Amino acid sequence: MLELNTSYTFSQVPYLTYEVLQEYGEAVVKDFAPECLNNPIPIDVDRFLEYYLHLNVDYRRICHNKKILGMTAFEEGTVDVVCEETGQPEEMPVTTGTVIIDTSLTTKRNEPCRRFTMMHEGGGHWLLHRKAFSGDNPFGPAGIYDNQYLAAKEGRMDYSRSRKEKTDIDRMERQADFLASVILMPRPALRVAYRNFFKFYEDKPRRIIRGTSPLDDAYAKQLPEYVAKTFNVSNRAALIRLEKLTAIVDKGWPRYCH
């Protein structure tokens, strides 16, 4: 497992720019599956968590309202889940490095969301935030849920465009989201997919600017769908990744430029 060398806040949250996360994520892909760095193919998320990060993945019904889709335990303990037979809360013992994925994501329809949630927990929190959630953190573990040693992925599909980071938790969620997207859609492989998309339409690769022409508006819809299918991610995850790389922008760009 490729470790990240960086500085940390007093509360043990890493200082990371998007570019640092980008380079680190690409280095992780190269270390785990070099064939995925330059080729537009889906990375094996299950193998990544189990064999590269040495995490234990379990599927349980986490809550009734799907507010939480995934959790990672950084310390040994218990976590409340829903009993499949009774529908009542029950305690589940967890060991360090246990990732729990909600059973709602096990359907074929939710496969892209499952992959992103797993990469958010493992490729994001486990790689970046073990110090913050550690029980020996002098400023207290960073967890905001009932069990303070847990990082939890809230039940929103993929990740948000918002750049607001008011708390350490906000900052860690953004970091985990962004690193997950980099590992799932590494920049070199995404460039190949980008060129292939334009080649199919016999057009020259260029930045897509929404609101300037019907063609660009059509491309802005079709390109994320193509990228999503290529990397087995959701359309939303693909769109936001493309926006953050300014491959797709709005008229009056820059708006989502980082």
3-state helix, strand, coil in the chain (%, to 5): 45, 15, 40
Residue range(s) defining the domain that contains residue 37: 18-184
**Residues counted in the chain:** 258
Residue where a domain terminates, one of 166, 184, 202: 184
Q: Is residue 3 part of a domain?
A: no
pLDDT at residue 257 above 50?
A: no
Percent of the chain with pLDDT over 70: 87
pLDDT of residue 141: 59
pLDDT at residue 162 above 60?
A: no
Q: Is residue 157 part of a domain?
A: yes
pLDDT tier, 133 (very low <50, low <70, confident <90, very high otherwise): confident
Question: For residues 115 and 139, which has the higher predicted lDDT (pLDDT)?
Answer: 115
Backbone conformation region of residue 152, classed left if phi is above 0, alpha if psi is from -120 to 50, else beta: beta
CB 126 within 8 A of CB 118: no
Quick one: 173 and 198 in the same domain?
A: no
Q: Is residue 8 part of a domain?
A: no
Q: Is residue 1 part of a domain?
A: no
Q: Calculate mean pLDDT across residues 45-58.
A: 96
Residue where a domain terminates, one of 184, 204, 226: 184
Q: Is residue 7 part of a domain?
A: no
Q: Is residue 220 part of a domain?
A: yes
Residue where a domain terminates, one of 140, 163, 184: 184
Q: How do residues 192-250 score in pLDDT, each as one tens digit?
A: 999 999 999 999 999 999 999 999 999 999 999 999 999 999 999 999 999 999 999 99
Average the pLDDT over each of 61-65, 72-76, 136-140, 141-145 and give the range with the smallest value: 141-145
Q: Is residue 255 part of a domain?
A: no
Q: Is residue 144 part of a domain?
A: yes
Quick one: 237 and 155 in the same domain?
A: no
Q: How many domains does the chain have?
A: 2
Quick one: 108 and 52 in the same domain?
A: yes
Quick one: 179 and 205 in the same domain?
A: no
Quick one: 169 and 84 in the same domain?
A: yes
Concatenate the DSSP letters of all residues of 105-173 into one string: GGSGGGHHHHHHHHIIIIIIIIHH-TTTT-TT-TT-----SSSTTEEEEESSSS--------SHHHHHH
